[in-house]
Structure 1
Amino acid sequence: MPLVIDRREGYFLHDLDGGRLIDVHLNGGTYNLGHRNPEVVAAVRDGLDHFDIGNHHFPSIARTALAEALVASAPPGIGKVVYGSGGGEAVDIALKTARHATGRRRIVSVVKAYHGHTGLAVAAGDDRFTRMFLADRPDEFTQVPFNDLDAMAQVLRDGDVAAVIMETIPATYGFPLPVPGYLEGVKELCERHGTLYIADEVQTGLMRTGELWGITKHGIAPDLLVTGKGLSGGIYPITAVLVAEHAAGWLREDGFGHISSFGGAELGCVAALKTLEITLRPSTRERVAALTERFAHGLAEIRERYPDWLVGIRQNGLVIGLEFDHPEGAKLVMRQLYEHGIWAIFSTLDPRVLQFKPGILLSDELADEILQRTATAIGKSR
C-alpha cells in the first residue's frame, strides 16, 4: 500500500497527497491517546526546558517519579521498575531477570507468540523469526499451544523452567481470547513449580481491556509485567519492566547488570507520566467502557449481515480481532478498509484475523463513522 504518513493528529493520518485515514491499528497501541496528544506534547515541550535524555549512571528525579507511579498502579507485589527503550529490550530484561532469580535457563512461551525482535525476545517467539536469525534453541526455549493447560503442565513438571511469558491476549496471533480459568491455571502451575510468570502487557495494557493492566481482570499478580508502546504517549520511546521484590535480586547485587543509554530517558519519563495520568482518569475508564459496548453492538450487526464471511469477533474491551472465512481474509478486508479511509492491519501470524484497535479516547461520532466504513469495506471484500 503506497502510504507515506504526512500530517497526523488525533486518530487521523494524512498521506502525502492529502488523503485521510482513521487509524484503527495505532501501531499496536502506541497511539492509544491519539497521535500528537496535545497534553503529552505540552508536557514534553515543557520538559525540554529542564530535561534531556539523562544519564543512566546517576539517579534521576524523572525516572524515580515514573517508577513510583508505575509501582502504585501495578498488581500487588511489584516493587521495582527497570527501563528500556523498546518492547524487545524490555522483554529481554524480563527474561534475564527471571533467569537470575531462579537460576534456571529454560523459557516457555506459546505457539505463535510474539515478544519482539531482540536477542532473547525473538527466541521466545514464532519460528518465522527465530530460524531467520538462528535463534531457535529448543533446549532453552519451549513453546506450547495457547489455551492448552495440560501442555503447560507437561513442560513445567520437571521444575527446570525459569519463566512462562505470555501476552494476556496474543496480539500478533490474532487476539485469541484465553478460555475461562486458563491464565489462572498457568499462574497456579508456575507457583507450584517455582517458575516466574511474566505478563507481556505491551499491547493489552494501559486501559485497552477496560483495566489498566489486562492481567488484573484475571485476578493474577504476575512476577514481572512488561509495558511499552502506549506508555510513550506516541511521543517519546520508553518501555518498562515491573518486577516483584522477590525477583529483583540482581538490582541489589549489581545495578549495572543491565544498562541502557536510552532506557528510561528523562523526556520519555515525562511523556509516560502524563500518559499514565490521562489513562488513569475516571473519564478515560468510562470512555473505554462506553466504546466497548458501542463496538460490540456495531460489529455484531455487521456480522449478522455477513455471517458466512465475518465468522468471529474476538473482543476484550477495545482489544478486537475480526476473523474471516478465508486463509488470508484479513488481507482482503485490510485493502478495502484502506480504500474506504480506515487503517488497520492483518495479524502477521494468522492472516485470517484483522487487528482492530480503536483508540481509547474516541468520540461516539468517530466510532460510528469507523463502524459505517468498516461495514462497507467488509461487504466489498467478499
Structure 2
Amino acid sequence: MSFVGKDSKRSIVRNFGSHVSSGKVDFYTAIDLDFVIGKRRGSWMYDVSGKTKLLNCHCNGGVFNLGHRNPELIRVLTDALKELDIGNHHLISEQRAKLGKKLAKVNPPGLSRVVFGVSGGEAVDFAIKLARAQTRRQKIIYASGGYHGHTGLALAAGADHFKKPFEPLAPGFVEVPFGDTETLSKVIDEQTAAVLFETIPATLGMPIPPDGFYKEVRESCDKKGALLILDEIQTGLGRTGKLWAFQHYGITPDIFTIGKGLSGGLYPMSATCYRDELDSFMRENPFIHVSTFGGAELGCPVAERVLDISSSRAFLGRVNTLAARVENGLDVLSQQYSDILTEVRQLGLFIGLKMNDQGYGPLMSIACYNSGLFAVYADNDKSVLQFLPPLTISDAETSFMFRSLNRAYSWARNNPKYLELARALVA
C-alpha cells in the first residue's frame, strides 16, 4: 500500500490550504515554490509529481541528521512494532530505562538523569520547570534572538515576533545579547534560577560563541548559584563533529535538552538530561510533570540506535572529514562571491552563510531551490542562510551540493532586481 501520490498535486495543495494552513499556501505561491514532498530517501526529497528532487540541506534543523528513512532505523522501528506500543507514562518501563541508561553512558559524567518528551519545546519547558523548582528562584536569563520552541515557557524565552501575539506570557524572563558576558554579569544575581542558551543559536544565524564565552558563563552561574541550561536540539548528536556541541567549549551544563535528531526522523522523541544532584525535587514529586507520549516505547529503540550511531568514533570521524572538505569548498565560494557572502560560520556541519543584506537569505533560499537544494534562511537574522546537510551525505552528493550552491550564488548575483522583492517578502 502506498501513501504517496494518491491525490493530484493540485488537489493536495487545495486541501492543505482549505484545512491545514492557507497562509503557507499563500506564502509558497507568492515565491513560486510549488514543491509538495512525496517520496524521500537518504539525502533527497522528491516532489509528489516525481519531476523535482532536492538535496536536503536543512534537515528540519537536524531531524534528518542520519538521512530520510534510514534503513537501519526503519528495521529497528519495524521490529519494535511487533512487540511494543506507546506504553503507559505512569508505569515503570523497560524501554525508557534502557534509553535512559544509554544517555547516561554517552553523556559527560554526572549527567545521568533524564525526563523524556515529544518535542524540543516540551524538553525546554521541563528544563525551566526543573531549574525553578530545584533552586526555588524565578529569573530565567536567555539570549536575544534565540529560539527554543513554541510551547509556553520555551516561547517566553524566544524572539518578540513569535511571542507578542500571545502575551501575557510567564513572567521572570530577562533577555541579554548572545556572546555578551559583560551584560550577563550585570543581570545574573541570587534570584536567577538559570541561564538558558542554545549552544550556538540557529535561528539567530549560527553566531559562533566568542573565545572563552562559555567558561565565563559557567563561572557566572557558579558564582551566583544559578543553573546553566544548554539547548542542544539543533547542535547535538554529532552535528558539530562532537556528540554535543558544548564539548567544544570545555564546560558541562547542569541541564541540557535534546530533540529533533533523537527521533531518527521516524518517531518523535526529546529528552531533558540533568545532573544527579538536581533530582531531589523530582524524587519527591514523581508525578508532577507527565507527558502522555514522552518517551513512547516504540520510539525508545530508535533513539537508542541513533545514539549508538551518533556517538561512534567512526561516525564522528566521518563528520569531521566532511566538515573539513566543506570548509575548503565554502572558502572558495566566499572568495568568489565576496560581494554577497561576507562570513562563513561553521562548526562541523552546523553552518550559517552570512550575507550583506537581509534580502539575501530568502533570495538564496529560492535560488537554492531552483538549483536542486533545500535550505532556509535564519528567521531572526534573515541575512543568514542556514546550511545543515545530512551527516550521512556522500562524497558525490557533496560535490553536487557545491555545484548547486555555486549556481545559486551566481543566479543571485546576476539577478539583483529580485533582491528588493525578497526584502519585501519577509519585511
Structure 2 length-normalised TM:
0.88
| Cα distance in structure 1, aligned partners of 2:335 and 2:209 | 24
| Cα distance in structure 1, aligned partners of 2:311 and 2:107 | 12
| 1:255 matches 2:267 | no
> Structure 2 unaligned runs (5+)?
1-32, 414-427
Give the corresponding residue for 1:227. 258
| Cα distance in structure 2, aligned partners of 1:3 and 1:166 | 34
Of 161, 185, 191, the residue aligned with 2:192 is 161
- Report the CA distance between 1:271 and its aligned residue: 1.0
Q: Deviations over 1:111-149 (max 9, x none)?
A: 001000000000011111121110455x50001001110
Give the corresponding residue for 1:92. 125
| 8 A Cα contact 1:318 1:357, kept in partner | yes
Of 41, 48, 71, the residue aligned with 1:38 is 71
| Cα distance in structure 2, aligned partners of 1:116 and 1:249 | 27
Q: Tell me the SS of whatever aligns to 1:199.
A: strand
Moved more, 230-239 or 71-80: 71-80
Of 40, 46, 57, the residue aligned with 1:24 is 57
Q: Deviations over 1:299-321 (max 9, x none)?
A: 11011111111111000000000
| 8 A Cα contact 1:28 1:229, kept in partner | yes
Label 1:132 to 1:353 Cα distance change in 2 as closer, same or farther (>3 A): same
| Cα distance in structure 2, aligned partners of 1:73 and 1:203 | 18
| Cα distance in structure 1, aligned partners of 2:120 and 2:70 | 21
| Cα distance in structure 1, aligned partners of 2:71 and 2:233 | 23
Q: Deviations over 1:167-216 (max 9, x none)?
A: 11000111001000011111110000000000100000000111100001
Amino acid at match of 2:98: A
Count of equivalent residues: 380
Give the corresponding residue for 1:185. 216
Amino acid at match of 1:93: F
Q: Tell me the SS of whatever aligns to 2:112.
A: strand
| 8 A Cα contact 2:152 2:169, kept in partner | no
Of 147, 150, 170, the residue aligned with 2:179 is 147
- Report the CA distance between 1:79 and its aligned residue: 2.2
| Cα distance in structure 2, aligned partners of 1:249 and 1:172 | 34
**Identity level (%):** 42
Give the corresponding residue for 1:134. 167
| 1:277 matches 2:277 | no
Q: Tell me the SS of whatever aligns to 1:132.
A: helix
Give the corresponding residue for 1:51. 84
| Cα distance in structure 2, aligned partners of 1:376 and 1:359 | 20
| 1:109 matches 2:142 | yes
Which protein has the larger Cα radius of gyration, Structure 1 or Structure 2?
A: 2
Q: Deviations over 1:190-243 (max 9, x none)?
A: 000000000100000000111100001111111001000000000000000001
5 Å matches for 1:53-68? 53-68=86-101
| 8 A Cα contact 1:77 1:221, kept in partner | no
Q: Tell me the SS of whatever aligns to 1:67.
A: helix
Q: Deviations over 1:267-311 (max 9, x none)?
A: 111110111111122221111011101110001101111111111
Give the corresponding residue for 1:121. 154
| 8 A Cα contact 1:164 1:195, kept in partner | yes
Amino acid at match of 2:181: L
| 1:13 matches 2:35 | no
| 8 A Cα contact 1:250 1:257, kept in partner | no
Of 384, 395, 398, the residue aligned with 1:364 is 395
Amino acid at match of 1:61: E
**Aligned alpha-carbon RMSD (Å):** 0.9
| Cα distance in structure 2, aligned partners of 1:268 and 1:108 | 32
Q: Tell me the SS of whatever aligns to 2:113.
A: strand
| 8 A Cα contact 1:199 1:226, kept in partner | yes
Give the corresponding residue for 1:381. 412
Amino acid at match of 1:64: A
Amino acid at match of 2:178: F
| 8 A Cα contact 2:103 2:112, kept in partner | no
| 8 A Cα contact 1:231 1:275, kept in partner | yes
Give the corresponding residue for 1:292. 323
> Structure 1 unaligned runs (5+)?
none
Give the corresponding residue for 2:27. none
| Cα distance in structure 1, aligned partners of 2:169 and 2:184 | 19
4+ aligned runs moved over 6 Å, structure 1: none
| Cα distance in structure 2, aligned partners of 1:280 and 1:86 | 21
Amino acid at match of 1:10: G
| 8 A Cα contact 1:168 1:215, kept in partner | yes
- Report the CA distance between 1:12 and its aligned residue: 0.2
Amino acid at match of 1:377: A
Amino acid at match of 2:136: G
Q: Tell me the SS of whatever aligns to 1:62.
A: helix
| 8 A Cα contact 2:176 2:183, kept in partner | yes
| 8 A Cα contact 2:69 2:265, kept in partner | yes
5 Å matches for 1:257-336? 257-336=288-367
Amino acid at match of 2:55: I
| 8 A Cα contact 1:123 1:135, kept in partner | no
